[in-house]
Amino acid sequence: MEVILSNNSNVLNTKLITAHDGAVIYSVETKQHSLFGGREVTYLKDFNPCSSTTKRRSVRLGWVRGQQGRGREFGWGKTKDDEVVVGLINWKKKIIEVGGTRRSVDDVRKKVGGKMFSLSLSNASKTFSSETSEDGRSSVGTSSRDSMALTKVTGLSLRLPTLKVEKGLKKREVWQWREGHDGYEFVHGDHGWEIINRSSSTTSGSLSVPYRPHIFGKPKAVTLELSSEALRKDEVFLLLAMIYSEAKRQEKTTETVLEIHLTALDAAF
């Protein structure tokens, strides 16, 4: 299965559209906190629960469409426009729910391996100075320093921070719904996520996210792929795991960029 995300990289509010015929098969909707604006619950909804394909999937997941009862506090079961909630993420409680069964994120996700990369700010290695010669003309020169750099321009001193990136082993996330189910490694790279089945060491899916925007022309769409075996065994769980991993990655990236800017401003003044 290959689907396109209708809302580009916004995995928290989007529709999953099949690449071959343009049909919407799932929608992802996230409820935000009314006061603080943080995300509360993300719902994965089957967009066409009346189709025969969906009925077969519903039986496999072990739930009844429109069922009241367990899980209803999260909005489980039939929703407006005949959509059906087939899974959800409760961000505050760190719970993932599939087919009415709830499991803690800490129980279904483990992190293995080293850090993907580390970022640090250090002072620049050169000092830029403004000097005035005897004939009144200004000249700019540089000199090396090991630990600190100052830019001196008419008496104003600025510390110049530099960004240091250290690459190491990529950190991998291993997702497994429960004992007896396959485990899946989520590995993040330059082009997005790759999902590897730990039992067979084969690729079970991917989430391709183009990070560099195009100045001219239409940007590439965000695409999600799952193998037929992954669909048969852990379809809803893997979709939720992808949403969770990419949302967290975007959150950490935003926090890191903000921290770098604040540190640079603090160092400069």
Cα–Cα separations (whole angstroms), residue 174 to 71, 162, 199: 26, 34, 12
How far apart (Å, rounded) are the C-alpha atoms in residues 83 and 75? 12
Residues 155 and 264 in one domain: no
What pLDDT score was predicted for residue 64? 33
Residues 135 and 177 in one domain: no
What is the rounded average pLDDT of the residues 169-183? 87
Report whether pLDDT(243) > 60: yes
Residue 219 is given by DSSP the state P
Residues 172 and 51 in one domain: yes
- Indicate the residue among 159, 177, 210 that finishes a domain: 159
Residues 234 and 109 in one domain: yes
Residues 134 and 89 in one domain: no
Instruction: Decide: 119 and 88 in contact? Cβ < 8 Å.
Output: no
Highest mean pLDDT among 33-42, 46-55, 100-109: 100-109
Instruction: Decide: 27 and 47 in contact? Cβ < 8 Å.
Output: yes
What pLDDT score was predicted for residue 216? 58
Q: Identify the bridge partners of residue 202 per DSSP, sorted by sequence position.
A: 197
Residues 142 and 242 in one domain: no
pLDDT, greater one: 141 or 195: 195
Residues 102 and 150 in one domain: no
Percentage of residues of the chain with pLDDT beyond 90: 45
Report whether pLDDT(197) > 70: yes
Q: Identify the bridge partners of residue 212 per DSSP, sorted by sequence position.
A: none
Report whether pLDDT(147) > 90: no
Residues 192 and 90 in one domain: yes
Residues 155 and 170 in one domain: no
Residues 80 and 136 in one domain: no
Closest CA to 233 of 185, 178, 181: 181
Cβ count within 10 A of residue 57: 18
How many domains, in total, are found in the chain? 2
The helix (run of H) or strand (run of E) holding residue 267 is helix 228-268
Residues 134 and 76 in one domain: no
* Helix axes 52-61 and 228-268, enclosed angle (nearest 10): 80
Confidence grade of residue 260 (pLDDT, cut at 50, 70, 90): low
Lowest mean pLDDT among 9-13, 46-50, 247-251: 46-50
Report whether pLDDT(12) > 60: yes
Residues 241 and 190 in one domain: yes
What pLDDT score was predicted for residue 35? 73
How far apart (Å, rounded) are the C-alpha atoms in residues 94 and 40? 10
What pLDDT score was predicted for residue 262? 61
Report whether pLDDT(231) > 80: yes
Lowest mean pLDDT among 43-47, 184-188, 198-202, 215-219: 215-219
Confidence grade of residue 145 (pLDDT, cut at 50, 70, 90): very low
Report whether pLDDT(158) > 50: no
Report whether pLDDT(239) > 90: yes
Residue 62 region by backbone torsions, left for phi larger than 0, else alpha for psi between -120 and 50, else beta: left
- Host domain of residue 147: 125-159
Cβ count within 10 A of residue 30: 19
Highest mean pLDDT among 30-44, 107-121, 221-235: 221-235
Confidence grade of residue 98 (pLDDT, cut at 50, 70, 90): very high
